[in-house]
């Protein structure tokens, strides 16, 4: 609840100062963000404060709790097994206010403090990893949602296409519609909802955290086992003796077995089947075709089209040729006739088994959504009167940063730039304000002496047991594979 609440004499209207919009809310109504309401002339938070609970054993029952109940007295759980997340806590706007919750608890004999808030992030973006070799659009191409540009295609990674979405320029630097569409798109992705995107000169995509991407209406199934060269190296021994040549078609690096070091290691004679493209090292070819949605992420529908020529001095009638993609979804078996022309034949069982194994070694295609934001302004002021000390404390691994209790990666360099996989957070962890900006939970946890030393708001520290008076709380189970947020921080990346 805001400390600066104003109630007008006429109509019981209250002013919400949780963000710069400063909504005037009538009785029984919600603010523009749907996160605050006027309840009988009082400004109240509509979403419950989320407490992460660590169970002592897998499958152990959660603490019985009914939302709105007042019987919970805090004695059903210990401080060592309960963590106050920023979800539902409220914001620190305007900047001079301490964080909504500064909670003291004991962990393994150490007094700790967790500064809990929901940050209003104007400087934030999303990185989307899409497991596919298919062409989704040229690098730097605009990505649109509902007709508005919300990001761009960025550098592809191994087996994945990448999008950079959101950011302050799209939120605030364009039209009002662009900002609103960008904010809604980011909110949906952060809360693990599906979003449809269109790439200029490319594909229509449906992306959702933890789900397979849908590209031009087709759901992807497999992430490639490796590039064409890597696929050659992995399966060369299994092809040896059953094929005279294998060409693994790939948009980036197409592999040719008998030229490849793997084929030479197996003493395979050169087959004389030359592919198009720019030869790199032996058996590795770049630019064999244009990017596309065909074989191996190329625009190829007929694999023979990438064969430049067949050397009559090296090839022979009956030569057995396998052409396959990096996922095994495309494969064809050829034998050379008397004119040394490839003729498609039924695939032998021994070869089919290896093609199936390529597919078996492909991981399921998924979309990964990483939220990235800069924690400055009110976030740091809400923790301490000397914000740079909080930054230094994080860099020195004295303070752990989490989002909704989930481990966050803190980028090196200046400031507090955090990145988190949205799949690791509790459901519906993110909100928005119509400035527009994304609202996300963030917690800073440190030993009590560290908090005092960095100039923390010591008068605002409250014991965990004080939360017993809160009547709008819900529990979530802390993920067992995540470090407990109150545990001592260690130097280096998040554990």
How does pLDDT run across 166-216, given as a tens digit for each residue? 999 999 999 999 999 999 999 999 999 999 999 999 999 999 999 999 999
- Whole-angstrom distance, CA of residue 354 vs CA of residue 360: 9
- φ and ψ of 490, to 5 deg: -115, 150
Bridging pattern class, strands 461-463 and 101-107: parallel
User: Of 329, 336, 395, 334, whose CA–CA distance to 362 is shortest?
Assistant: 329
Q: Which residues pair with 112 in a beta bridge?
A: 105, 447
For residue 71, is pLDDT > 90?
Answer: no
Q: What is the pLDDT averaged over residues 39-49? A: 83
The CA–CA distances, whole Å, from 382 to 7, 90, 116, 374 equal 25, 12, 9, 15
Percent of the chain beyond pLDDT 90?
71
**pLDDT band (50, 70, 90) for residue 471:** low
d(CA 224, CA 480): 30
Percent of the chain having pLDDT more than 70? Answer: 91
Name, in order, each residue with C-beta under 8 angstroms of 260's C-beta and a sequence gap of 6 or more.
229, 232, 233, 236, 282, 283, 284
- CB-based contact 472:67 (threshold 8 Å): yes
Is residue 58 over pLDDT 70? Answer: no
Q: Give me the chain's average pLDDT, please.
A: 89
72 or 92, higher pLDDT: 92
Whole-structure pTM value: 0.87
Neighbours of 281 (CB within 10 A): 11
Task: Give the CA angle between residues 422, 423, 426 to the nearest 5°.
Answer: 85
Q: List the one residue out of 43, 32, 34, 35 whose CA is nearest residue 1.
A: 43
CA 480, 481, 487, 491: dihedral to nearest 10 degrees? 180
The stretch 92-113 carries a mean pLDDT of 86
In terms of C-beta distances under 8 Å and separation of at least 24 residues, what long-range contacts does 469-473 make, across chains too? 470/49, 471/68, 471/69, 471/70, 472/44, 472/45, 472/48, 472/49, 472/67, 472/68, 472/88, 473/48, 473/49, 473/50, 473/51, 473/65, 473/67, 473/72
Q: Is the pLDDT of residue 7 over 60?
A: no
pLDDT at 67 over 70: no
pLDDT for residue 475: 86
């Amino acid at each position: 609840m805001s400390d600066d609440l104003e109630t007008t004499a006429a109509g019981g209207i209250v002013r919400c100062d949780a963000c710069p919009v400063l909504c005037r809310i009538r009785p029984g109504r919600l603010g523009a963000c749907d996160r605050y309401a006027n309840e009988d002339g009082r400004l109240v938070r509509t979403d419950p404060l989320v407490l992460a609970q660590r169970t002592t054993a897998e499958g152990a029952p959660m603490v019985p709790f009914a939302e709105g109940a007042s019987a919970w007295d805090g004695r059903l759980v210990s401080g060592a097994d309960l963590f106050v997340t920023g979800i539902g806590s409220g914001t620190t706007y305007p900047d001079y206010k301490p964080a909504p919750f500064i909670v003291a608890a004991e962990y393994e004999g150490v007094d700790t403090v967790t500064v809990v808030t929901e940050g209003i992030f104007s400087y934030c973006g999303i990185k989307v990893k899409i497991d596919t070799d298919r062409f989704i659009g040229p690098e730097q191409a605009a990505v649109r949602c509902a007709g508005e540009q919300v990001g761009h295609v960025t550098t592809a990674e191994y087996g994945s296409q990448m999008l950079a979405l959101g950011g302050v320029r799209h939120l605030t630097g364009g039209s009002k519609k662009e900002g609103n569409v960008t904010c809604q798109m980011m909110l949906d992705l952060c809360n693990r909802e599906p979003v449809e995107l269109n790439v200029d000169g490319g594909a229509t995509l449906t992306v959702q955290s933890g789900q397979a991407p849908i590209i031009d209406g087709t759901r992807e199934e497999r992430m490639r086992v490796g590039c064409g060269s890597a696929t050659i190296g992995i399966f060369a021994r299994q092809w040896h003796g059953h094929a005279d040549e294998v060409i693994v078609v790939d948009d980036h690096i197409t592999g040719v077995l008998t030229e490849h070091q793997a084929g030479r290691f197996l003493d395979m004679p050169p087959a004389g089947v030359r592919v198009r493209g720019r030869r790199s090292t032996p058996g590795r070819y770049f630019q064999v075709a244009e990017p596309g949605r065909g074989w191996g992420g190329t625009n190829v529908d007929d694999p023979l089209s990438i064969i430049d020529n067949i050397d009559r001095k090296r090839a022979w009638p009956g030569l057995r040729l396998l052409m396959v993609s990096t996922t095994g979804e495309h494969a064809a078996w050829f034998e050379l006739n008397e004119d040394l022309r490839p003729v498609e034949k039924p695939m032998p069982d021994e070869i089919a088994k290896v093609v199936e194994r390529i597919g078996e070694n492909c991981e399921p295609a998924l979309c990964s959504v990483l939220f990235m934001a800069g924690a400055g302004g009110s976030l740091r002021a809400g923790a301490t009167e000397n914000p740079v000390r909080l930054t230094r404390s994080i860099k020195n691994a004295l303070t752990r940063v989490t989002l909704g209790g989930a481990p966050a990666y803190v980028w090196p360099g200046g400031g507090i730039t955090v990145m988190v996989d949205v799949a690791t957070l509790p459901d519906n962890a993110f909100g928005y304000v119509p400035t527009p900006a994304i609202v996300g939970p963030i917690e800073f946890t440190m030993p009590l002496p560290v908090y005092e030393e960095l100039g923390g708001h010591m008068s605002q520290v409250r014991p965990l047991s004080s939360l017993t008076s809160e009547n709008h709380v819900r529990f979530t189970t802390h993920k067992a594979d995540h470090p407990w947020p109150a545990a001592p921080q260690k130097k280096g990346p998040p554990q």
